[in-house]
Every structure is written in structure tokens, then in C-alpha cells.
Structure 1
Amino acid sequence: MEKLSRIHVKSFDFMLRDGLKRMIKYLPPSEFSSPNGDVCELRVEFLELSNPIASDRNTPIYPHECRRQGKSYCAPLRLNIRLSINGTPASVLDVPCGEIPIMVLSRSCNLSKLNRKDFPRHSEEEREIGGYFIVNGKERVLRLIIMARRNFPLAVSRLSFKKRGHGYTEQAIVIRCVREDEAVSVRCLIIFCGEILLAFL
């Protein structure tokens, strides 16, 4: 069973370790003009996701407490946002941005730093497999979606393509075009006269 959940945990850990940093890298700054004509720019420079803590006592919280109290197992998220005025850095704002659900046994989960023999001390099973979230006290699993291979053309035949209109065939070529932080699916629909119609999804 642990092998099944490992894929989910590794995927979530990748998001924590690399995915959020890549998101910031490609996030465009927000620009606006002040009433006196200055051009202001806000750029996210840094993101910090802590481990789950009990807000009332500022101590680590464990999954069983959230199950028992009907709470979500979350960690606080903070952003460092740089404010520039007319191209000159003015200040850095430390902005709390709410909480993000934490996957049980991921690197941000408080259980991940413990030896399995210590799990029962925190009312957890030694054989805990993780790979799920706790939302309002309930265990929730996100189904892992299997995606088409990155940047690889795939020929498909679907009747739904033919139903798009007069002259369409059921054949198409689908390409999932991927960059580090985003993806778009491109379909080349084949028409009876031999032409190809490009569709972005």
C-alpha cells in the first residue's frame, strides 16, 4: 500500500521543493500608476510555507488532532513582495496569504521528521501510508491524473471530432506542449479535404 501512496507524496514534495519556486519565477509583476503619476511595481520574490502549527498555542499540530477536532491539516503561507517605484526598489512587504493543505507524510508534514516508532505517541499508526489530505476532519484523496507524454505528438481517433461540423474527420493529432510551469494541449484536426485545423485547448 505504501508504494501506491508514495507517488502522491513524491508529487506533492516536488511541488513544495521546486514547483512553487518555478511558479514565482514565471509570475509576471503587477504594475499600476499611483495618483501622483508614479509607476509602481509589485513582484513576488520569495515564498515560505511553514509546517502545520496550532495557531492558538504556536506548537506543531499532528494529523490526528485535525481529524478529532474537525479541522484541516494546513500550514501558513507567507510571501515576500518587493515594491518598486519608478524602477527603484522601495520596500519589501511580508504578506501572510492564508493556509495551504498539507499532504500527510509529505516533507512539510510534522510526522515526516519522526521515527515511525514514535508515531503512536502522537496517536498515529506506525504503518501510516500518507498521500492524502485532511480537510474539515475528513481524509481526502486527490486522484492522480495520468497525463499524455510531454511535447510528443499522439495520433487519436474520436467520433467527437467528427461531430464538430461538416467536413471534419474523426482523426486528429494531439500534442501536450509543456514548459516548466505550464502546459497547453494543441489539437490538429484533420478535415476531409486534406486540410488541418489547429485548435488550442
Structure 2
Amino acid sequence: MEALAAELGAVTAEQAAAPVSAVEVKGLVKQHIDSFNYFINVEIKKIMKANEKVTSDADPMWYLKYLNIYVGTPDVEESFNVTRPVSPHECRLRDMTYSAPITVDIEYTRGSQRIIRNALPIGRMPIMLRSSNCVLTGKTPAEFAKLNECPLDPGGYFIVKGVEKVILIQEQLSKNRIIVEADRKGTVGASVTSSTHEKKSRTNMVVKQGRFYLRHNTLSEDIPIAIIFKAMGVESDQEIVQMIGTEEHVMAAFAPSLEECQKAQIFTQMQVKEFNFRAKCIYTAVMVRRVILAQGENKVDDRDYYGNKRLELAGQLLSLLFEDLFKKFNSELKKIADQVIPKQRAAQFDVVKHMRQDQITNGMVNAISTGNWSLKRFKMDRQGVTQVLSRLSYISALGMMTRISSQFEKTRKVSGPRSLQPSQWGMLCPSDTPEGEVRDLYVAVSISVLRNGGTV
């Protein structure tokens, strides 16, 4: 008995001396929770700031301005205007959505009056379990038991209409980064997807018959690059060449583009003087230079290299969705103002009466419950973004929370995105497969064998 106690004591001492791993400290789903926290505490305010004012064409004096935006704590409306806090377990049992109200402080005009209203609800936000606004945050294991929750449950998922839904990590090509690549015919080009809170756009640098053209989603046709430089204020051919590069082969490659501009008889910037496009000119010159340098030695970027990829987490995906719904909400208010103000006197028009909550609420709930992210504004149409959380085993739930969904077309017969990349070392699990249950069984057996002193 004493020997057994000594042995148990020794094990405990060894465990105490062992270093604590990052997985024990941070957990496996911290990336989801952190990204959602950033979205509801920081990102949502930036989106509001970028779309803070609504004006009307019917009355130039009328406006609506957002002063602040908040996401509350999860609650449920029991009767008219009577709410109470709600727990995730209750939402599972009653097939409800675990969500919190989104409220805004606004300033608007009504006739000649300037009115400020605080805490006006505009919709509801589904809340991620264990996030900063969740009722489970900072609770002890005993408090978890009172709420009918497991202390070992990692969180990081949503409860929508009583179903546990996980937003899968989306693997995307990096935004705001120049990617140089060759097309099927072997022609080298450069592309960059620009993304800010105000707008999203895509710019391509293409080569046709030795000449460079700029293709942009706002332009109807490809524009010769030298004309673009002159339109942006760099009128001297010498300055354009100095921006791109003065090496002999670089100048020789760019010469036909300058010649094309000469033939088109375009020499000066025919537009408003106040606009300063200097930074854009330099960036465009870098794009041209990289295309020229990649042509001779075939130094194109590898799309599958992990440095050229970014992982979109729950917060970023919900941020895009909310931005689209918020812009729709504002455009509807503007439309109503344009229609109503001419019919009745502006003094009688109260915008608060027309602020519907269902548009943002239904948009968020439908996207998470169906997994369809269809945002026309950003030309985004993705299916299968969310999946029902697998509860076959504890490991299957953790495996699903950390699964990464790649965005390449599954029908294409390409090996690059499917094969293991050396740059993924230490970042991705090389063993995870779409048939996750087999992997879970292997992990469970491995743990069992290792515990019994064997080797896998």
C-alpha cells in the first residue's frame, strides 16, 4: 500500500514538474473566440464608422448619424418588451437562437429639431459560446454545472434554432498582397485584391502582345498602363520608367507600352488637381516591375505557399456578413426617407419608426443555419461555410472546430492544393481527412496505447 502511495506521489510530482503546453493554456479553439471578440468589440464599430451617415435626396437638411454601436448579452423576450438572460442549454432545449441585441446611439433630424436617441435595437447577433459576451465567460466548474454545461466543452460555436453550428476556418489567398502568376497559356500577370472597410476591389496587371494593361473591376475594359500613370498625375515618361526600374531589360520590356500611349496622343492629366495618386502610382509600378522580372526567369508566386494564404475565422466572416446587412439596412432607410419626406412634411417624418430589426437578425441567422454566404455587394457566393458540430466523441468535436475548408474548386483535377506543402509544417495537421471519424479512432487508439507504455 505504501509502495502504491509512493508511486502515485512520484507521478504527481512528475506531472507538477512537467512544463505546461500551449494547448493547455490557450485551448484549441481560442482563435475562433478571439476573432469573434475582436469583431463584436472593435470591428463592428469600424463598420459603423465607415457607414455612419444616411442622407436623403428629397431633403438635403435631413440626416441620420450613428454615434455608437453595442452588442449586448444573450437574452430572450418572454412577453412584450420583457426580456431575461438566457443560457445556451435552454436555447438547445427550446430550439432558440443564442443571440444578443445589437443597439445603436443615433442623432437625427425631425423638421428643425436635432434629436439624440440611445440604445435603439437594430437587430440581433448570434453569440459564440465562451466569447466575451457569453454568459459562460469566467464561470467556475460549479457554475457551469448549474447552467447544465460541461466545463470541458471548448465553446467556439453558435446555437442557431437549437442546433450547434461551427463556422469552418476558410483558407483564402491573401488580401492586399501582389500575387504574380502565369495563366494556362503561360502568360505572366499580377493581381491584388484590395480590401478596406469602405470598399473591396480587384486589380489585375495583364500582358497582351508585349504591352501592359490594367484590368479593374470598376473599369469596363483594359486600359494601357502608361495612360493610367498619366491619368494619376505621373506625366513624364522618364519618371514612369524610373518608378518601374532602370535596368536594361526592364526598360526594353516596358518600351512598347510607352509607345502605345504616344500613339494615343495622351500626354497630360486631364482631371481634378486635388487628387493625389502618388502612392497608387508607386504600387502600380511595383506590379509592372514584378511582372517584368517574373517573365524572363519564371519567378512566379506559388499560390499554395502558406505565406500567400490567410485563414478567415468566424469573426472575419461575420464581419463581412454584418457589413453587407448594415449597408442594406441603411439603404432601405434612405429609400423610405426619399419616398415619405416629399409626401408629408419633414417635421412629421420620424426615422425611428421605420427601423426594422428583422432584416439584420434574419440575415445573420439564415447565413449561419444554412452555411450560405451570398453577398452580392462583394461578389461572394460560398456554400458550406458552417456545419453542424459533430458530437460523436470529444475528439471529433475538437477536430471539427479546428478543421480548415480550402477554397479551390473541388471539381478541378489539380494536385497542388491537395498535396502537403512544406510551408504548412507546424501550422496544419497533416493527418486530418474529410473522413474525420477514422482519424478520431486512430487518435483514440494511439492515446490508449501510449498510456499503456506501448509505441504507435
Using structure 2 for the length normalisation, give the TM-score.
Answer: 0.38
Measured after TM superposition, the shift of residue 38 of structure 1 is 6.2
* Alpha-carbon shift at residue 144 of structure 1 (Å): 2.1
Long gaps (5+) in structure 2: 1-22, 218-378, 380-456
Which structure would you say has the larger Rg? 2
Per the alignment, residue 131 of structure 1 pairs with 156
1:198 corresponds, among 212, 215, 230, to 215
Partner of 1:71: 96
CA drift at 1:27:
0.9
Structure 1 residues 105 and 3: alpha-carbon distance in aligned structure 2, compared to 1, 3 A threshold:
same
> Judging changes above 3 Å, is the alpha-carbon distance between structure 1 residues 174 and 33 closer, same or farther for their aligned structure 2 residues?
closer
- Distance, in Å, in 2 between the alignment partners of 1:145 and 1:170 is 29
Identity fraction in percent: 21
Alpha carbons 1:176, 1:186 under 8 Å: kept:
yes
> In structure 2, what is the equivalent of residue 187 of structure 1?
204
Equivalent-residue separation in structure 2 for 1:184 and 1:144 (angstroms): 23
Q: Which has the higher helix share?
A: 2
| Kept in 1: contact 2:145–2:151 (CA 8 A) | yes
Is the 1:148–1:176 contact (alpha carbons within 8 Å) kept by the matching residues of 2? no
The C-alpha deviation readout for 1:165-195, integer Å capped at 9, x for no partner, is xxxx654312132335654332323334332
- 1:12-91 aligned at under 5 Å gives the runs 12-32=36-56, 39-56=61-78, 58-84=83-109, 90-91=114-115
Whether the 8 Å contact between 1:191 and 1:197 is mirrored in structure 2 is no
Letter in 2 for 1:12: F
Instruction: Give the deviation of 1:108 after TM superposition.
Output: 0.9
Greater fraction strand = 1
How far apart, in 1, do the equivalents of 2:38 and 2:122 lie?
A: 21
Query: Cα gap change, 1:191/1:142 in structure 2, threshold over 3 Å: closer, same or farther?
Result: farther
Cα deviation digits, residues 38-85 of structure 1 (max 9, x gap): 610101111121100122163321111111110100001111221146
Aligned to 1:115: 140
For the 8 Å contact 2:52–2:67, the answer to whether it is kept is no
Distance 2:109 2:126 in 1: 32
Residue aligned with 2:153, SS: coil
Report the counterpart of residue 261 of structure 2 in structure 1: none
Following TM superposition, by how much is the alpha carbon of 1:120 offset from its aligned partner in structure 2, in angstroms?
1.6
Letter in 2 for 1:40: W
1:176 aligns with 2:230: no
Instruction: Give me the CA root mean square deviation.
Output: 2.7
- Provide Cα deviations, 1:87-125, integer angstroms capped at 9, x if missing partner: x87001343212111111111111113124421210111
Q: Contact (CA 8 Å) 2:128, 2:134: kept in 1 or not?
A: yes
- AA at the equivalent of 1:93: R
Residues 1:172 and 1:117: Cα distance change in structure 2 (over 3 Å)? farther
Q: Which residue of 1 aligns with 2:30?
A: 6
SS of alignment partner, residue 146 of structure 2: helix
Give the counterpart letter for 1:53 in structure 2: D
Task: For 1:38 and 1:175, locate their aligned partners in 2 and report how far apart those are by CA, in whole Å.
Answer: 38
Deviates more, 1:146-155 or 1:136-145: 146-155
Does the 8 Å CA contact 1:9/1:106 hold for their aligned counterparts? yes
